[in-house]
Structure 1
Amino acid sequence: MAGRLQKIWREAAVVCFDFDSTIIQNESIGELASACGVQKEVEALTRSAMEGAFTFETSLRKRLSIINPTLSQVQELANKESFLLSNGFIDLCERLQRQNKQIFIISGGFKDLIVPLSKRLRIPAENVFANELIFDQLGNYQNFADLPTARTGGKLDVIKEIKKRCKQAGSVVHIGDGITDLETREEVDLFIGFGGNVVRDIVKQQSEWFVTDFEELNSLLEED
């Protein structure tokens, strides 16, 4: 079993990552909540959403109604570069790029917060699938866009879109820590559960392959 999974990993043409608690050590929506002074109220909702207590869209709407961010608050957080990358991610990302594998980010977080970091990692903005916040002319929060990443099962739809876009030979892999990541299993060649920052029991139990360190994945790739 392990040999088969490792072969799929090494032959990957497309590698998709979740963002919160996967690429970064924390939750970007939690950081936004903290910046807006409502961190504790939002943390409980985030935890419940990641464990599947209610639909992701319901959770997102509830959390944003509490946070009620302004455009300037979002921009300020994005410019702070305050997100801590998970241990080993930079090395893994750079090796995947040297091997010409396409990297995508699929997140229930917010594009305004993710793209500045993705650009520093040399992952183009068009490879980031995430939620988009809608503000009025004064920069007050109004709503979020109706995108697949805003609803339960949406990451599965994003994977389908990525597969249409990427025609090169090779497997498609998704790596993530949450239940919304687990939903991609039926569409990818390999789902890898990630527990480097937080271990979600349902993800660990239902993942064919579960890792707690990106170095494990990096070490299995061919030398450049």
Structure 2
Amino acid sequence: MEAGPVRWVSFTHVFLDCDGTLVDVEGIVELARRRGQATAVAALTEAAMSGHLPLEAIYEQRLALIRPTRAEIRELIRIYRDHLLPDVPLVIHALHACGISVHLVSGGLEDAVRGLGRFLGIPAQRIHAVRPRYDPFAGAWWRGEEGPAVGVDPSPLIAQGGKARLLQGFRAPGRRLMLVGDGITDLAAQEAVHLFVGFGGVFPRAVVAEGADVYIRCPRLAPILPLALSPERARALQGTPAEETLREGLRAFQNGEARFRDPVRHERFLQAWHAL
């Protein structure tokens, strides 16, 4: 008996990391530049994102080195917007147009991540980040100005396994979850989702490249579109600017800029999209 046609099934939820995935900077390092601490904070961040140190061991240490104000954290919104990968707004708009629930899930600081999310049209309830605690007595309190951030509210996202715990709460019958991220905290959540996509287009990390279900090497988010959508659902993009971005994403899988770890799955994915 002949096998039936190969199919690729659409996802219902796409969870996107922020720093190093949507933007080509680490927000905490940008904040550290103001204090002359960029080198130290970048080294701590890379050690955590590459799996050499647990995130919880360095999260508040980095914050203590720079003690950013709320105004400085909000200034990150502009920096994030200036450093967005070029196709990010179009990809997210296309996912929304196809009925996909898009979330940001980040260990970044809440005001900045929420501001970027608003710019990208992602509802506030779908943005998950870390809320800082400010010192109310160190600033110009008589003018209502808070002091610098001195810690963070309890959050699973400051721990190595925190994204996995958060994403477990979204699992339900009929849902298919995809996570896209560049660091070890994203890789650690692989078992909580149906597909983990490692993103190496900004900060390539060997541990993520070796462990991810899918790995993207190009500095573009276009490969997310054919991964997130089925060919049938992608018909909604015909005649729109996103149609060419979808095709660009497929070309990335054909030329090796994006790949499945399992070569058989890679070929079956391309077969499912062959008719496009």
TM-score w.r.t. the length of structure 2 is: 0.73
Among 150, 153, 157, which residue is 1:149 paired with? 157
Q: Which residue of 2 aligns with 1:189?
A: 194
Query: For 2:166 and 2:66, how far apart are their aligned partners in 1?
Result: 26
Q: Which residue of 1 aligns with 2:95?
A: 96
Q: Which residue of 2 aligns with 1:128?
A: 127
Q: Which residue of 2 aligns with 1:7?
A: 8
Which moves more between the two structures, 118-127 or 74-83? 74-83
Q: Which residue of 1 aligns with 2:166?
A: 158
Q: Which residue of 2 aligns with 1:78?
A: 77
Among 203, 210, 231, which residue is 1:205 paired with? 210
Contact map agreement 2:216 2:223 (CA 8 A) in 1: yes
Q: Which residue of 1 aligns with 2:235?
A: 223
Contact map agreement 1:86 1:197 (CA 8 A) in 2: no
Higher relative contact order (CA 8 A, sep 6+): 1
| AA matched with 1:223 | R
Shift of 1:184: 1.1
Query: For 1:82 and 1:217, how far apart are their aligned partners in 2?
Result: 20
Summarize deviations over 1:144-189 as a string: whole Å, max 9, x none: 111000111000011012336xx7x341100101000001111101
Shift of 1:41: 1.6
Q: CA RMSD in A?
A: 2.0
Shift of 1:140: 2.4
Q: Which residue of 2 aligns with 1:58?
A: 57
Contact map agreement 2:73 2:109 (CA 8 A) in 1: no
Name the SS of the counterpart of 1:45 in structure 2.
helix
Summarize deviations over 1:51-82 as a string: whole Å, max 9, x none: 11111011112211111112232233335655
Query: For 1:161 and 1:218, how far apart are their aligned partners in 2?
Result: 24
**Whose radius of gyration is greater, 1 or 2?**
2
The structure where helix makes up a greater share of residues is 1
1:43-54 equivalences under 5 Å are: 43-54=42-53
| Structure 1 ranges of 4+ moved more than 6 A | none
Q: Which residue of 1 aligns with 2:21?
A: 22
Q: Are residues 210 and 77 of structure 1, via their aligned partners in 2, closer, same or farther at CA, if it must alter by over 3 Å?
A: closer
Name the SS of the counterpart of 1:19 in structure 2.
coil
Query: For 2:34 and 2:167, how far apart are their aligned partners in 1?
Result: 32
Summarize deviations over 1:81-123 as a string: whole Å, max 9, x none: 5541123222211110001110111111111111111001110
Identity of aligned residues (%): 29
Query: For 2:86 and 2:149, how far apart are their aligned partners in 1?
Result: 33
Instruction: Give the number of aligned pairs.
Output: 216
